[in-house]
Amino acid sequence: MGRWWWVDFEETFSTSFEALTLNKTRTVLAVLGIVVGIAAVIALMTLGKGSQKAVASQIESLGSNLLTVMPGAQMAEGIRGQVGSMTTLTYEDAKAITNSSRITSVEAVSAELDRRAQVVAGRNNTNTRVTGVMAPYAQIRKIEMESGNFISQNDLDSQAKVAVLGPQVVTDLFSEGADAVGESIRINKLAFRVIGVTKAKGGTGFFSQDDIIFIPLTTAQKQVFGQDYVGSISLAAKTEKLMDQARNEVGYFLLARHKISDPAQADFSISSQEDIISTMTQVTSTFTALLSGIAAISLLVGGIGIMNIMLVSVIERTREIGLRKALGAKKKDIILQFLTESVILTAAGGLLGVIFGTLISLFLVRMISVPWVFSSPSYFLAFGVSAVIGIVFGFYPAYKASNLSPIEGLRYE
Amino acid sequence: MIEVSHLTKIYGNDSVKTVALKDVSFEIKKGEFVAIMGPSGSGKSTLMHLLGALDIASSGSYFLDEKDVSQLTDDELSEIRNKKIGFVFQVFNLLPRATALKNVSLPLAYAGVNKRERIKRAKKALISVGLADKFENRPNQLSGGEIQRVAIARALVTNPSVILADEPTGNLDTKSGDEVMKLIEDLNKKGHTIIVVTHDPEIAKYAKRIINLKDGEVVVGGF
């Protein structure tokens, strides 16, 4: 009868299981390190993917055929002008783009100037983003009105002190869902009349479209912030297919207007939403990788814990190993026996880690309100890694066990 | 069937040498019942380890079924032990958490016998030692004599060339010791080759031939 390379899977497995259930407390403690490590990896990876998706969908919600012209030089040889010196774009640039007959691919243009400011209404006050915009801004950014109207060209022409509030600001200054139209607020001590409230768009932090106040660009420049330039110019291409054409037309138009012949010397840059998304994605994936690296270290520590427990187990079972060898177990039989044990340990730890990690990530995404993204690769990875840890850290104890002499084993008390 | 010539075993290194077995030669034929006797320190444990393929000799040869097993690797020795030798130890050496059936079938598992065949043969061996009703008992549910009979069944199950019993009654009371020796005697009558290592003349009486060891050398009964 042929000798199997492996004694008997069922036999090996049930023996391992018996050995592990013998000292349950120790088994649980041994596995804990792996559980924590895998749970941390899963939670962080899920969170990273979730925030990536959140950032992407928030940027996407601003409009998919949106181009943004930013002041400042292109990234030429890694040198870029200071933020404060980016004073190259103006309201006139935006108007010129709007009125140019040569630019055919652009549907709407709005220049913006954006600052944080203290805003007061009655006894309430809040610190929020105040954005000077042009009338087409609502169309470009797909802003819908809950009540009242958005900023009009008339408001710009007359530098009217009117404001459109985001729903979060309404909540902060008045009360949630209150109709603020007609109310009066003060921005940097200047009185403004509320003419409209926008619909909620969602998003948090930097990307919030709800915690914001819109005022006419001209008012923002001349009366509130005292600036002649604008922070950026937003463009909506007529269709998504015309994005590249729009980028070229506007780029060359502005180069000509700014009297620059070499495109490499441009004092502005044009980026699409996709460019911004890929940058943000890069940032979050670097961050995720970093955190996962830290989590991986805890896995390493968990692996050392497994090795420790397996070494103790080998010593405790010296007699059993000696007997098995006396009865005909070869080295590979003993190695497989102990490897099976350590892999059962780490795989079980991996499974528990995946479950806990998922629960933790479900809890965390609720707390920081990003979507929960299921990523099967990270699950398989985590599970695979834990099994590999079992093999790597179980090998030395198993090898040690396999080299025991049967005589010493049988003599051992 | 067993042919030992000039077998020597030296422990320790060059500076501290202990000669445990010195130039031992003898022959054991198929179907014999031999007792190896000697006081402690006589080298009988060392000889038993060599005969049991648990250890390799420093010099000399040991032929078991025409195969020299005095200088083999670990894994080769494992295979010899598995196929040709059945052990009965003084301290029983059963797996404490496994049933009698599982303990007896363990050598067959390492021989690569499939599960159904293992169980069949293990049951047969247990029946032959009179434990037909104890298949599912664990060692802690058995008496000393019963445990040693399980160990004998385990030694039998692979149908080995030789059964090697090391002080098989050392941990038993007189009554169960006698039972165990009668069982071993029966096995010999059925044709099994038996070697018993003991210091007890009462046990040695069961054997048909005695090899006496003293200070690592054969005194009477060898060639």
ipTM associated with this complex = 0.92
Asked whether B9 and B42 are in contact (CB, 8 A), the reply is no
- pLDDT at position A273, please? 77
Q: Do β-strands A184-187 and A190-198 pair in parallel, antiparallel, or remain unpaired? A: antiparallel
Q: Which residues in chain B land under pLDDT 50?
A: 222-223
Instruction: Say how many Å lie between the first and final Cα of chain A, rounded.
Output: 36
Greater confidence, A234 or A21?
A234
Greatest Cα pair distance in chain B: 56
Asked whether A258 and A88 are in contact (CB, 8 A), the reply is yes
> Residue length, chain A?
413
Whether residues A328 and B49 touch (CB distance < 8 A) is answered with no
CB atoms within 10 A of CB A81: 13
- Which of A14, A327, A333 to mutate against chain B (most B CBs within 10 Å)? A327
State the DSSP string of A293-354. HHHHHHHHHHHHHHHHHHHHHHHHTHHHHHHHHHTT--HHHHHHHHHHHHHHHHHHHHHHHH
Greater confidence, A97 or A78?
A97
Q: What is the pLDDT of residues A138-168, one digit of tens each?
A: 988 888 899 999 999 999 999 999 999 999 8
**pTM to 2 decimal places:** 0.70
pLDDT higher than 90, residue A55: no
The alpha helices in A62-185, defined as continuous H runs, are 91-99, 137-140, 153-157, 167-173
The alpha helices in A368-412, defined as continuous H runs, are 376-402, 406-411
Considering only CB atoms, A8 lies closest to which of B74, B97, B109, namely B109
What's the rounded mean pLDDT across residues A81-96?
A: 74
Tell me which long-range contacts A246-251 makes (C-beta under 8 A, separation of at least 24).
A246/A67, A246/A103, A246/A105, A246/A106, A247/A67, A247/A272, A249/A102, A249/A103, A249/A104, A249/A105, A249/A106, A250/A67, A250/A69, A250/A97, A250/A103, A250/A106
Strands (E), A20-73: 66-71
**Closest chain B residue to the Cα of A320, Cα to Cα:** B95
pLDDT confidence band for A82 (50 / 70 / 90): very low
Asked whether A393 and A307 are in contact (CB, 8 A), the reply is yes
Q: Report how far residue A91's alpha carbon sits from residue A109's, in angstroms, rounded to the nearest whole number.
A: 11
Q: Which two tokens stand for residue B1?
A: 């069937």
CA distance A21 to chain B (A): 12
Whether residues B87 and A328 touch (CB distance < 8 A) is answered with no
CA distance B69 to chain A (A): 15
Q: Report how far residue A210's alpha carbon sits from residue A203's, in angstroms, rounded to the nearest whole number.
A: 8
**Closest chain B residue to the Cα of A4, Cα to Cα:** B112
Whether residues B112 and A3 touch (CB distance < 8 A) is answered with yes
Q: What is the pLDDT of residues B152-170, one digit of tens each?
A: 999 999 999 999 999 999 8
Q: What is the pLDDT of residues A326-351, one digit of tens each?
A: 999 999 999 999 999 999 999 999 99
Q: Report how far residue A195's alpha carbon sits from residue A164's, in angstroms, rounded to the nearest whole number.
A: 6
Considering only CB atoms, A327 lies closest to which of B49, B75, B82, namely B82
Whether residues B115 and A405 touch (CB distance < 8 A) is answered with no
pLDDT confidence band for A85 (50 / 70 / 90): very low
Instruction: Say how many Å lie between the first and final Cα of chain B, rounded.
Output: 15
Whether residues A327 and B113 touch (CB distance < 8 A) is answered with no
Whether residues A8 and B81 touch (CB distance < 8 A) is answered with no
Share of chain B above pLDDT 70, in %: 98
pLDDT confidence band for A205 (50 / 70 / 90): low
Range of weakest confidence among A39-53, A220-234, B48-62, B152-166:
A39-53
What's the rounded mean pLDDT across residues A342-364?
A: 91
- pLDDT at position A2, please? 41
Q: What is the pLDDT of residues A276-306, one digit of tens each?
A: 777 777 887 888 788 778 877 888 888 898 9
CA distance A311 to chain B (A): 20
pLDDT confidence band for A81 (50 / 70 / 90): very low
Q: Indicate the average pLDDT of chain A.
A: 85
